Amino acid sequence: MTKRDKLFNCIASVLALGAIWLAWIIAYFAVKNDTVIPSVGDTFAEMGRLLFGQERAAFWRAFGNTLLRAVEAFALSFALGLVLALFAFFVKYVRAFFAPIVSVLRTVPTLALVLILLLWTSPFAATVIIALLVLFPVFYVSILSALDEVREEHGETVRSFCVSPLRQTLWMYLPLAAPPVLKQMGADLSLGLKVTVSGEVLALTAESLGRMMQYAATMLIDMPQLMALTLLTVATGFFFEGIFWLLSKAVVRWRT
């Protein structure tokens, strides 16, 4: 990608954020009802109160619990997806075995899974498991696709070295597949955070962002707080996407 393309991409991203901001302002003045669409000023004032005001202890405790569950599900699903993708990469029968399982997991409604898991487990465990079940097929498919691309592009070179399959995997396949996987992992963690919060809303998980959102929406009808919590969740997702994007760039520079 040339510098000109990068510049145009940055400009397009800024324009998109500006368009969202403008749409929010227009909708607020068109509706003129704070219980439906809060103002930008009230939302950011509420955000400041959550981060630094009297409710900061409750917010940071809920934020930490939600983030911990999201990261736990992320780590477990990545480990499971990596191991099974490697098995499927080297053994075609394993790939055929997991193909329908992955398809089922990608199509099962999240709401149905949450309701079923609530009957079997606690609200705390249900949110982690639901995020794991959503993220596992994403990791499995992305890692397996990256390994397939490496084999297609560098398979002959890798086979020319007389080394064991384990050394091929550790020193050739995984390093070559790492950049696209790392780049995708940021979006996956952001997805995991979104699924975790959604599960918390449905499960009414105590001391969580999802519970705070549900309470603001149904008990207090506090739209500024609901919007502030939503924006903070989105900002956290963007933060992690940026971190993994930088990691993917660092791996590319180290490899070259």
**Tens of pLDDT along 171-211?**
777 888 888 888 888 888 899 999 999 888 888 888 899 99
Q: Which of 186, 77, 185, 79 is nearest to 132 (CA)?
A: 77
Kindly report the number of other CB atoms within 10 A of residue 16's CB atom: 10
DSSP labels for 1-61?
A: --HHHHHHHHHHHHHHHHHHHHHHHHHHHHH--TTTS--HHHHHHHHHHHHHSTTHHHHHH
> pTM to 2 decimals?
0.85
For helices 174-203 and 223-255, angle between their N-to-C axes, nearest 10 degrees: 170
Mean pLDDT of 221-248: 87
Query: Is the pLDDT reported for residue 220 higher than 70?
Result: no
Predicted confidence band at 88 (pLDDT cuts at 50, 70, 90)?
very high
For residue 64, which phi and psi values (nearest 5 degrees)?
-65, -40
Query: Is the pLDDT reported for residue 13 higher than 70?
Result: yes
Report the distance separating Cα 48 and Cα 42, nearest Å: 10
DSSP labels for 125-180?
A: HHHHHHHHHHHHHHHHHHHHHHHHHHHHHHHHHHHHS---HHHHIIIIIHHHHHHH
Average pLDDT over the chain reads 85
Query: Is the pLDDT reported for residue 160 higher than 70?
Result: no
Q: Which amino acid is at 95?
A: R
- Predicted pLDDT of residue 53: 84
Report the distance separating Cα 168 and Cα 189, nearest Å: 28
DSSP tag of 83? H
159: Cα separation from own chain's centroid: 35
For residue 207, which phi and psi values (nearest 5 degrees)?
50, 60
Report the distance separating Cα 59 and Cα 216, nearest Å: 13
The two tokens of residue 149 are 């691309």
Kindly report the number of other CB atoms within 10 A of residue 71's CB atom: 17
Query: Is the pLDDT reported for residue 236 higher than 70?
Result: yes
- Predicted pLDDT of residue 63: 94
- Predicted pLDDT of residue 204: 83
Q: Is residue 117 a contact partner of residue 55, using CB atoms and an 8 Å limit?
A: no
> Residue 183, SS3?
helix
